[in-house]
Amino acid sequence: MKIHRVQYDGFGHGPNVTRTTASITRPVFRLLSMDFGSVDVRDTCDDVEGAGRATAGENTDRKGPVAREVAFAARRSGVRGPATEGLRALATEAVHAGRDDLARQGLHAVPIDLSTTYPSYDSRGEAARIDAFATDGAEPEGPPVYGRLGNPTVARFETALARLEGTESAVAFASGMAALSAVLLVRNAMGLRHVVAVRPLYGCSDHLLTAGLLGSEVTWVDPAGIADALRPDTGLVLVESPANPTLAELDLRAIAHACGSVPLLADNTFATPVLQRPAEQGARLVLHSATKYLGGHGDVMAGVVACDEEFAGRLRQVRFATGGVLHPLAGYLLLRGLSTLPVRVRAASSNAAELARRLASDPRVARVHYPRLGGAMIAFEIHGDPHEVTAAVRLITPAVSLGSVDTLIQHPASISHRVVDAEDRRHSGVSDRLLRLSVGLEDVEDLWRDLDAALGRG
């Protein structure tokens, strides 16, 4: 199948399909001549084995881990957790980070510590440790104290995620929104209540800022307007790339430069550290709804912020005070999810690239959004009724959320972004005919048969 013309709007909003012709040859995961902006998707999806390789942490020349993985590993010395010998690629870190001490303890599987409290016969020592935590939020030395202060199983997940993102630390929360709320509370406590943000964002993140529920004030800007929007009381710049749900991509390095001394928070939920590491591009804070790809199986809810240790200390203090802690079983499931993250992202990305290729040539589809970065998310606008499509799928599940092993489809204007003002939705590219597809690990031919039939009813 060859797409002769796909326009890309140049601002990260995906391809605008204007006219296509096609001839199907054989079902391979290959985008033969689909050019998204300046990036040829042939560099992202070469074949079945190599699909998504350029965006999944492997070099397209097939000579091994990309240079950024080596550089990332070389900078790990400041990361919490046991030291390891040599340089480790992303796939190796995903399997072993947070588990380096297990063999020496005679263990293979990660233990789950469900304790909410811990015995202590030294109350003076406990008082000193709690005083130290109150000063800088550093993790208390020695045995655990109380479940709201920290948990050993959750700490393993935090160590692993920090290693994958290339940051000093990470702090986990009960949900992605709890994690974002903690970041805002940290800055608010410093008198820095103003936030500069770029749409689109996840709908609830947008609502949290717009409604001022935590006392924040937000200025919405295009990326080019970030520097001019900064004020003395600006505490945060918030972006999401690829963005939910349009998959718009931003130049994080340029944005970080425009932020100056103001911390940049990049929501990396869609990309995961497999596709990009925002900290390498200047973001001080990297946010994940860990409910999505990090967990990967639709059975755990969590959020996490990867950052430097100074900011992590403040986040731990907020977590302790507000109680937005992650349950130890969730920490265990997330750590287990990380071990297969590169494999899952790579496989789902190859499926998504093939489906994007087919959707782009389908006359029932008006426009396809698929990021130059690659990945397992697709957004597409149809000529027909999107509600009929979501009602007609049988293999694909019509549901919110994303990043699971199975494929999900939803109508953002009705669900995930319903809380965003209708005019703001449309202005940020979330049209009423937009559907968002989170592609899973099923056989791509089965997925296409279901999607094709559903589009026929739309």
Residues serving a catalytic function are: 148, 202, 267, 292
What angle do the packed helices 176-189 and 203-210 form, to 10 degrees? 30
Please classify residue 155 by burial: count the beta carbons closer than 10 Å to its beta carbon, then call 0-12 exposed, 13-18 middle and 19+ buried.
buried
228: number of Cβ within 10 Å: 10
- Is the Cβ–Cβ distance between 209 and 197 less than 8 Å? yes
Q: Which two tokens stand for residue 137?
A: 């939020």
